[in-house]
Amino acid sequence: MSDTLGDGKLELKQASKEVKESENVAEKYSAMTVSKNMGELSVSSAAFSAVPTHKPVKKQIQFVEDKQEFSRFPTKAGRRSLSRSISQSSTDSYSSAASYTDSSDDETSPRDKIQVNSKGTNDFCVKNIKHAEFGRREIEIAEQDMSALISLRKRAQGEKPLAGAKIVGCTHITAQTAVLIETLVALGAQCRWTACNIYSTQNEVAAALSEIGVAVFAWKGESEDDFWWCINKCINMEGWQPNMILDDGGDLTHWVYKKYPNGFKKIRGIVEESVTGVHRLYQLSKAGKLCVPAMNVNDSVTKQKFDNLYCCRESILDGLKRTTDVMFGGKQVVVCGYGEVGKGCTAALKAMGSIVYVTEIDPICSLQACMDGFRVVKLNEVIRQVDIIITCTGNKNVVTRDQLDRMKNGSIVCNMGHSNTEIDVASLRTPELTWERVRSQVDHVIWPDGKRVILLAEGRLLNLSCSTVPTFVLSITATTQALALIELYNAPEGRYKQDVYLLPKKMDEYVASLHLSTFDAHLTELSDEQAKYLGLNKNGPFKPNYYRY
């Protein structure tokens, strides 16, 4: 998920000019929600006012152009060997000889298999297409807690607002994202999909999507070479040119930009949900190389305040328990970063009786941590005494080799940020250290004196690599992504320039309203007199764009 830089880096500037538009997608759909007599839905003219952002990024994630080669793919033998990562953001890893998939599965690479679904097509590459039925059950369970997204699907599918859209996606492939993908298909889109994380794919879900005709190229435990091969297979299909991108981390966008520059210019819009990917978009925009409009979903209120905060508050405990069976009471834990992800992690650990420290670079976030009852320290001050280190900053080398050397025996190190750059895992690949695979996604790194440090998911995103995340919270983000895609695809030419835009407050409010019925929540309505007094429309938006919740 996202992390602290998403808090500090993107302070809104009041837009000097308004983006003039017709109807708002959120208003279009929300009108149906508040009206007692729901009329027919029309999406073709729908639009919302996205806010262009031109905020400086203090810490940019650079493209490692001179270190990457996209011109050739390795041989079968080469891709099975231990290889260094191509991308610092998603695939830095040591490819252990241990299998990352279930022991019941054979070790044959999906790339070496010939698989066909029940429709006779083979435009996919998953672990085992025969497990599609199990994946379908997982998707059906997820649908039960994603009622708002399903409601949007039912309301809009008659209009097919994404008819003609060819969406290429790179996200975590889970039951929850499968509900989003099937919603996009129901709204008229053609989709091809790959995974943004080599560990987070649910193989059965990938099989279920492939069974219904979605071209999926992903499986749990890909190598670095597999990762880029899968991305390329999604894009490089004869006679199929993507015109929309849904990305999580920026790797897909970067690949299309670098390897298919002419195709990149034909993209009508990009929707990005992670702080890492948003950094890359701002980098392209600042350099004048972003030739398509992009939506920054990461910094929408519904993503920051719900997905990042509440999702991580629950999933951090789940991920640590599943991998280490650790007892939290009395443990000394340091959380690096106090953005929304850090706030969620610290709240959960404090409630379980842990002694929690926070590291921060931002004085505002630091003050928040102090007022919430946490001691703000430098990592070096507590490195010898802490039991668990959790990174969630979006930065690189937050935990260095020198600090890892000073940690006590049995310490746990893990990452809750999207990118795997926060822990300097590469520095642990030295002859004097021994790696011992304990269980899936759990390694003991053993020092010469016998000290062991427990490293989870090789420094990748803990919750989606080692456990699961709350379905309901993901429904909020998925609904936002779907509406952003609808808007960008249907927006008339000229409405959005070659820039990065934030979602409007009206859309955030609409997405939130869709989910209130789950809790039987009843909103108070403004009277005409009250609305006039506040200078608001009775139907919203209720807060200005610069308001911080």
Please return the burial class of 72, using the count of CB atoms within 10 Å of its CB with bins 0-12, 13-18 and 19+: exposed
pLDDT grade for 493, boundaries at 50, 70 and 90: confident
User: Per residue in 326-356, pLDDT tens?
Assistant: 999 999 999 999 999 999 999 999 999 999 9
Residue with the bigger pLDDT between 58 and 177: it is 177
Per-residue pLDDT, 50: 54
Q: How many residues does the chain have?
A: 549
- Percent share of the chain, pLDDT over 90: 70
State mean pLDDT over 306-318.
Answer: 92
3-class secondary structure per residue, 25-75: HHHHHHHHHHCCCCCCCCCCCECCCCEECCCCCCCCCCCCHHHCCCCCCCC
**213 backbone φψ class: left, alpha, beta (φ>0; ψ -120 to 50):** left
The per-residue pLDDT for 28 is 52
Is the model's pLDDT at 308 over the cut of 60? Answer: yes
Q: Are 173 and 181 in contact (CB under 8 A)?
A: no
Q: Which whole number is the average pLDDT over 367-386?
A: 97
- The helix or strand, by DSSP H or E, that contains position 236, with its residue range, turns out to be none
pLDDT(132) > 90: yes
